[in-house]
């Protein structure tokens, strides 16, 4: 599987999407008073369709199937490559979020940039993956409908969180409270988000691998 991930980053995925794009989207965290989930969503809007279009143009799966690896490993390698890029986006976003807080030191109109924000961001990526990959690996070629479905799920989830922060004082206090108890809760939300991210990706992999086995490439 390590060789498949190496192949993806050397041959299949343009370096722009895992070096430049995370920096560009991360820099959006420096904008004051902004819905910062959108910065992370550019991965869904731009990187995902471009990379999967490249897979098709290069007949990437046709090449991979000729290698001495199982179909299971191919799915695991593809999903692992995307998880790595997602983690790069989240890490870069966290760095710029830290700079944002140091620069402005003010509350954000939407959800504040804190531990809870990134816990929910992990959940958003988890939701995108568990919708996208199982649908995509029905064909391992058609990425339009999976991308749209996963984007809709992620957007609705993020919008629901933002609206609850705006209109529900109790929910807002959980995610933005400054008391020691609320800060501990926000760290717990981050840990829970990471756990959900890991669990959903595992489920997405299992579902995707099962569907990919039925494809005759």
User: In this predicted model, what pLDDT tens digit does every residue of 155-201 receive, in sequence order?
Assistant: 999 999 999 999 999 999 999 988 999 999 999 999 999 999 999 99
Residues 93-102, mean pLDDT to the nearest whole number: 95
Average pLDDT, the chain: 94
The tally of CA atoms less than 13 A away on the side-chain side of residue 61 is: 22
pLDDT at 40: 97
CA-to-CA distance for 95 and 86, rounded, in angstroms?
A: 14
pLDDT band (50, 70, 90) for residue 215? confident
pLDDT score, position 36: 94
pTM of the model: 0.96
pLDDT tier, 217 (very low <50, low <70, confident <90, very high otherwise) = low
Containing structural domain, residue 21: 2-213
* Count of structural domains, the chain: 1
What is residue 38's predicted lDDT score, i.e. its pLDDT? Answer: 96
Arithmetic mean of pLDDT, 195-217: 94
Among 39-43, 81-85, 88-92, 172-176, name the one with the lowest average pLDDT: 172-176
**What distance in Å separates the CA atoms of residue 93 and residue 91, rounded to the nearest whole number?**
5
């Amino acid at each position: 599987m390590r060789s498949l991930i190496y192949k993806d980053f050397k041959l299949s995925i343009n370096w722009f999407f895992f070096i430049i794009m995370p920096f560009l989207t991360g820099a959006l965290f420096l904008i004051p008073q902004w819905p910062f989930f959108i910065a992370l969503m550019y991965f869904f809007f731009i990187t995902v369709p471009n990379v999967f279009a490249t897979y098709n143009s290069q007949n990437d799966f046709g090449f991979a199937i000729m290698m001495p690896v199982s179909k299971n490993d191919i799915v695991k390698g593809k999903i692992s490559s995307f998880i790595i890029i997602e983690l790069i986006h989240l890490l870069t976003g966290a760095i710029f979020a830290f700079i944002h807080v140091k620069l402005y030191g003010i509350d954000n109109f939407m959800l504040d940039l804190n531990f809870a924000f990134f816990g929910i961001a992990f959940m958003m990526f988890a939701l995108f993956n568990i919708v996208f990959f199982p649908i995509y690996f029905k064909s391992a070629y058609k990425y339009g409908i999976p991308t749209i479905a996963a984007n809709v799920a992620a957007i609705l989830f993020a919008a629901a969180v933002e609206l609850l922060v705006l209109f529900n004082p109790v929910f807002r206090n959980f995610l933005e409270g400054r008391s020691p108890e609320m800060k501990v809760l926000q760290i717990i939300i981050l840990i829970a988000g990471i756990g959900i991210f890991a669990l959903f990706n595992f489920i997405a992999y299992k579902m995707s691998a099962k569907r990919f086995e039925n494809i005759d490439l």
